Structure 1
């Protein structure tokens, strides 16, 4: 089998090119056997491009490049033709398409997609918030949250909190159990911000049994018994009816689908 060598060249970190190259390469070498992918990030000047093309020529390698500056893209194409190196411009055609469609000129500034702007810091803040106020650890977070999730154990409250946090929303979640009264702060939350997560008893029974087995415990514990689950769900409905919040059935929904339901309601 011929060794596949690909050089990924970028004026930024090169993640985009690397991921596309890997996605394509796995169609031929699923285990990356006899495959070498080298990344050359932060290309600053013409000399760097010249050296990389010469290296590709000597090693019989392909070049995939994501260069936002037109002059650097043109130079790369010209040098690859001169040295008979197969290359692919991953970014240029898309930039050209958008330029033609909008009539606007591209900024040609490398690394803008990774720029540490306000949006980035909002996401980090939201993720930290979700961790801090996960699983009802601190009820004070309920009044600071953009979204409050409530539900019995194993209704995907934590993964949903993290997913929404990546959408820049501050999320707190509270587990509901019949023996413990919900925190007073929960009843002070705007019902439009609060979402109850419910699941069918049968599905929850299966999930909890699998969880117990994964922990090396007996799957006939009270935690997974049908009567206990029904008791918890009845308690759940008493709480959500008192709050007056929306209820989402997550029985056959992926986290992303549940998140989209919440996002749609918030936008409305």
Structure 2
């Protein structure tokens, strides 16, 4: 049986290319476990750059996905892609045209505006710094200042969730729940409406912790991944969450993005 060649996708942008790359990966995951090879061509600014891109894509029978906001460059890329019979996908053009028509005004046609150093950007930076400072219960004062507080046992994605939500401009503190360590009083003095408990299936947690031990070069028999120990931790965490009276989300089979989406929806609807 002949193996399928891995498709090559060239993401072209007159800025950094982050938007196109994110969209391509979001689409490509729908074909898992089949893979795609993504190449980023960023900061395109002239015909010469587009000609080189066309040559590479033609040589590899690749697909060109582009987010060009400068009309002259966009039109030239489309013209050349059609001429060389290349599959090409314009991500921003139809959206910009629709908005221009609806708003009855032309767009700025200015690359890189998504990265402007505006108030939102600085809020994001502040939120990321907050998440780092108050990660894993380093300073319990973060519980008082946070927009969202995450609690749960080790390996329930508290840190990845904190960082993901920080990039959405939420100040997040997270506190590990460990039977041998008294939970901070701050958890019981702040409003439980800003606390989220993270619950996980014991078998799933055992698998995650076993993999973690393997990565660290430690034996699978370590207490960290012991089934009895895991059950003790989870029962303890459940008791603390009930005492707090907080909302609880089961993260057993959820990606970080999915759990974060639920948390943001919960935050908006509080």
Instruction: Note whether the superposition's TM-score is higher than 0.5.
Output: yes
1:238 Cα offset (Å): 2.0
Which whole-Å CA distance do the structure 1 matches of 2:180 and 2:49 have between them? Answer: 67
User: Paired residue for 1:27?
Assistant: none
- Equivalent of residue 41 in structure 1, options 16, 33, 43: 43
Name the CA distance, whole Å, in 1 between partners of 2:196 and 2:68.
45
Query: 1:135, CA displacement in angstroms?
Result: 0.7
- Whether the 8 Å contact between 2:44 and 2:50 is mirrored in structure 1 is no
- Measured after TM superposition, the shift of residue 79 of structure 1 is 9.3
1: CA distance, partners of 2:205 / 2:57? 53
- CA–CA distance in structure 2, aligned partners of residues 38 and 252 of structure 1: 31
TM-score by length of 2: 0.73
Q: CA RMSD of the aligned region, Å? A: 3.8
Does the 8 Å CA contact 1:148/1:193 hold for their aligned counterparts?
yes
Give the secondary-structure state (helix, strand or coil) at the position aligned to 1:110.
coil
Unaligned regions of 5+ residues in structure 2, if any? 1-8, 29-34, 59-63
**Match in the other structure for 2:232:** 231
**C-alpha deviation, 1:244, in angstroms:** 1.1
Please report the TM-score for the alignment, with normalisation by the length of structure 1: 0.74
CA deviations over 1:141-182 (Å, ceiling 9, x no partner): 111111101111111111111111111111111111111101
Superposed, 1:224-263 pairs within 5 Å as 224-263=225-264
CA distance in 2, matches of 1:203, 1:148: 23
Q: What is the CA-CA distance between 1:192 and the residue it aligns to?
A: 0.8
Distance apart, 1:116 and its partner CA: 1.5
8 Å contact 2:144–2:190 — kept in the other structure? yes
Aligned 8 A contact 1:151 1:198 in 2 = yes
Deviation string for 1:65-115 (max 9, x for gaps)?
7553446656x479969xx77896944444223323443322233321221
Q: CA deviation at 1:202?
A: 2.2
| Structure 2 partner of 1:3 | none
Change (3 A) 1:256 1:19: closer
Change (3 A) 1:214 1:80: closer
Q: How far is the alpha carbon of 1:231 from its aligned partner?
A: 1.5
Larger of the two Rg values belongs to structure = 1
Q: Secondary structure at the match of 1:253?
A: coil
- Number of aligned residues: 248
